[in-house]
Chain A
């Protein structure tokens, strides 16, 4: 089935630094979603993107739907300790009704 390549797998950064992660697919997607998951909790939807080229912010988070419709990135500015967690991208193909998930980016923020 369809797979998403999410990178990096993990990041270790200092508090205050900016973070960038991305996802790419071999198929065209209609929707890109970014989730954050804390240990033992369910994924929380951070940003949803529905249109190629769309750039959306949610506080310190910014995500973009790639113009080719095959990629998306998430930026976090001025990271803080509570940004720690696993970030998943997810997308829905044009003809599909399922979400495909990336493998996740584990973010560690050192105070």
Chain B
């Protein structure tokens, strides 16, 4: 089973709202990732967690705040977002912390009004 789940599937929020995206995997994978994807473009890496610790932050604005409560869960907390943050947010996991063989979830389509 190579399933990564994400909730919610769709999210609409105002610029003053606070919301969270959730990601879960039960494959025992050691690394988890957040990506942002604009239409017809490749995913852009935002954050990497290795063994539940933040190992890479790709200079993401502080209005995006990741959290890894345990080895199976990954959250992305959103606050004071801008309309240009509207995108598909993808979570991925990989068995090893080397970053290869990443399995993606279905994504959360975020719209910021």
Contact = CB atoms under 8 A, between A and B. Distances in A.
Contact of B101 (A40, A45, A86, A97): A45
A101 B100 contact: no
A42 B48 contact: no
A40 B98 contact: no
Contacts, number: 64
Interface of A: 30-31, 33, 35, 40-45, 48, 50, 86, 88, 90, 92, 96-99, 101-104, 106
28 contacts: A31-B101, A33-B101, A40-B107, A42-B90, A42-B92, A42-B104, A42-B107, A43-B43, A45-B2, A45-B101, A45-B102, A45-B104, A48-B100, A50-B100, A88-B42, A90-B102, A92-B99, A97-B48, A97-B55, A97-B56, A97-B98, A98-B48, A98-B56, A99-B45, A99-B100, A101-B42, A103-B41, A104-B42
